[in-house]
Amino acid sequence: MIGRLNHVAIAVPDLGAAIAQYRDALGANVGDPQDEPDHGVTVVFIELPNTKIELLYPLGEGSPIAAFLEKNPSGGMHHVCYEVDDIIAARDRLKDSGARVLGDGEPKIGAHGKPVLFLHPKDFQGTLVELEQV
């Protein structure tokens, strides 16, 4: 069921500084910021040869990233994203195994324009997991 690692998401308190650090200090290929109002975030993708890094910055007062940064003011790893071929089949299999899907359990369209779901971190060793249909 689980496919390749699509990205590792890092919440950042200063998006401009994070972009500069990855671009200038690490020499990474950094994309443009993109607002995702349905998810309450601004995202920037950093392309690596084998995966991506997603920088997350709060968009609006109710952003889940704002709450994360209140607890982690320096930022930090927010979630990992794995690819799946069929997100509905993956969701149903996970729910049958006792895993909790966050929200209403229905996929939303993510930053790549593909359906995504998030799984409760308490069911995955303290790690928030995103599934993205490829």
Residues annotated as part of the active site: 130
Q: How far apart are alpha carbons 46 and 67 in whole angstroms?
A: 23
- Identify the helix (H) or strand (E) that includes residue 33: none
**35 DSSP β-pair partners:** 42
For the chain, report the end-to-end CA distance as a whole number of angstroms: 12
